[in-house]
Amino acid sequence: MNLVYKTVVGMIIVGACCLQAQAERERRVPTHADAALVLAKYSGLFDRYVKSDATLTQCVAFLNTHGIYFGLMEVVNGTGFTSNDCARVMGQVELVMNGEAEFTVGKVKLPKGIDSWEDFCILNGVEYVQGYEAIIRIANPAGVIND
């Protein structure tokens, strides 16, 4: 291979890496508001209880009423929704749906003997990482959720 060919190929590879890095930086992190809307309206779990035109306030109120906790400040301030948050929420949903939820101050609490919501999800086959990726897909590109 000649030097020009190697240089061009190298530049193409570097350019592709830069574009990939830029695309990942531009990918919007979902907020607690995004997650509440996705869970209540688009997950298919609560279709019988939450109308398709429900507002963010109605979605958060519904979830909180059932112990699936979304904090007011996190929702209002647009705080990023992390995979750890997703593990908590999906773990709370699992316990509520199975009728095994125990509550503390209106929130579903982590069962005794479990160190974290991530551990709970892993032990119980709750695929919170896939759930988090789905929330990211629905919330991206930015502006898909406009409630």
Nearest to 92 by CA among 101, 81, 80, 104: 101
- pTM for the whole structure: 0.76
pLDDT tens digits for range 69-107: 999 999 999 999 999 999 999 999 999 999 999 999 999
* 17 Cβ neighbours under 8 A, 6+ residues apart: none
HSE at residue 5, side-chain half, CA atoms within 13 A, is: 2
- Mean pLDDT estimate for the chain: 82
For residue 22, the tally of other CB atoms under 10 A from its CB is 10
Higher pLDDT, 28 or 10: 28
Q: Residue 103 phi/psi, 5° resolution?
A: -115, 145
Nearest to 111 by CA among 86, 94, 131, 133: 94
**Distance (Å, whole) CA 112 – CA 20:** 43
**Residue 40 in this model has a pLDDT that exceeds 60:** yes
